[in-house]
Structure 1
Amino acid sequence: MTDDEWLASVDADGPVDLDRTTLRPTSLESNTATAPEAKPPAAAPPALSKTVAIGLAALVATVTIAVTVAMLAMRSGPPVTTSRLQTAAQVSVVTAAALPTDPGGPPLDTPIPYTASASCPPGSTAAQALSGSDPTRAFVCVRNGVDGQVITLDLGRAVSVTAISIVPGWVGTDGGGHDQWLAHRVVAKAQYIFDDATATVVTQDTGSVHGEAVVPVPFSERSDGRGVLGERSDGRGSGVVASKITMIVLQTSRPPADPAPPSEPSTLPLPEITLPTTTEAQDPADATFAIGALRVLGHDPH
């Protein structure tokens, strides 16, 4: 019996005393069995409390400020990097400009080969020894008591000569290991005559140095009959275009020697002894003069 039928029967029977009437559990069981099982309602998402909402808002604000500061810091960095890049670029430009590629700069000078001959009597060494770089060899010329010897340098072609370098004595030892500096006179003064159109003349005072002496070779303009000499900022001349150089040994001198160290006094008195002194004519070094090396510096003419 359904609930509706049961209620109808109750109404037909008249008023019912609920205290006496026992509700049939079968009706409930039947209702329960036949009624569809109701699904529990889906749990609603827990509502955020006010405290949590405030915390999230503060966190978002903090992150926003941090991102903004980071972006500003990144923007403030590039100027330093840009400055460094600009400095590096400027250094690169200066370095490139310093390279010897500027066609307006002075050309590179190098030793110019030559063939040498000299007006020295027999007993002298070959004049070509002037062009060597072996310190155990030197050009030695017999003087016969006078100076004025002539040395000719044939360059083989027209070149622009900017300087002449000379070692005016024998600096070094010979093949046997003997020091030759005091064995020969040194060239104190020399003159160089070039075969250019104006016959340029350059005079050099070597100072009798124990080493190399360099003289610049300037150009000469003689439109008015007088020479106008020019010299480069590096100490070398502007150059003379020539194919032959005539060197005249104007003056030689004895090689300067280092003073001997003082001798220790003797404990015993010695009698006075007069020793013979070496005169100008008796010094063996006066028989010859020596030139350790002679270099012609220059470049091809433009």
Structure 2
Amino acid sequence: MTWLTFLISGTLLAATPLLIAALGEVVVEKSGVLNLSIEGMMSVGAVTAFIVVFETGNHWLALAAGGVAAIVLSVVFACVVLFALGNQVVSGLAVGLLGIGIAGLAGGSYENMTVAPMARLQIPFLSELPVIGPGLFNHPLPVYLAPLLAVVLWWALKYSKVGLVVRAVGESPESANAVGYNVVGIRFLAIMFGGFLAGVSGAFLCVASSTLWADGMVAGRGWIVIALVVFAMWRVERVVIGAYLFGAASIAELLVQSAGISVPSQLMTSIPYIVTIVAVSILSMDGKRVRLNAPVSLGRVYLGTH
């Protein structure tokens, strides 16, 4: 395998969970809710998927189970911020820590165990192309479904009535309520959708990427997802680009090691997080542009009819 083949293949595998979770977070934030519990939802999805595939061997059932498990956690978050009117930042952090704790407890007896990886889909002819073929066209099916999901969400948010309603709720919940839309109900569904994708994202880590369970294996990816949404300025097409850029950064350690360059492993492991900080910091310099693109009611408690 050439270094270019490895770079392409590794980038796609590393970017897929980031892309899946970030797409869900875009929908949640477009509805006006800031969800900081992605790390916990991904962790719950990961451990649930690992247990399911370990016990049944069914990878697709594991992905679905991971998504459903994260929905349960998302419902807790939704109830706190939408009905109890809890602060979204504090509530998100608390629910995220709860999810991480649940994942550690549930996965204790499976620590460091492995499962068979999800089957790869070799696309005829294309996978046989030199260099780029094995890197682009020899992956588990979710790797190909993630960008398709991005296209569907881009279209839905921009052109469909559902997307218009979600964006209206995020921009002016009072106006949306005045014309008859149930703001709380719409945000509740948006949070559940984002939770499901976060759970599927975590599940992908266990059943298709690393194929093992270890406490803390999500390793901050949930925070990268949140930063990625800000970096993309809540635009789906930029989320896709950012996910693959961050995915490429996350495999830099392996590329450097394969090249025989002596660099402290701790430094290389931190590269994705350094890139995240730098990217968001540069973007934050243009604070006016960020504010113009952010949903107007993002993070605000809605005090309308419950």
TM-score, normalized by the shorter chain, greater than 0.5: no
When you count strand as a share of all residues, which structure comes out higher?
1
Greater gyration radius: 1
After TM superposition, the score normalised by the length of structure 1 is 0.24
When you count helix as a share of all residues, which structure comes out higher?
2
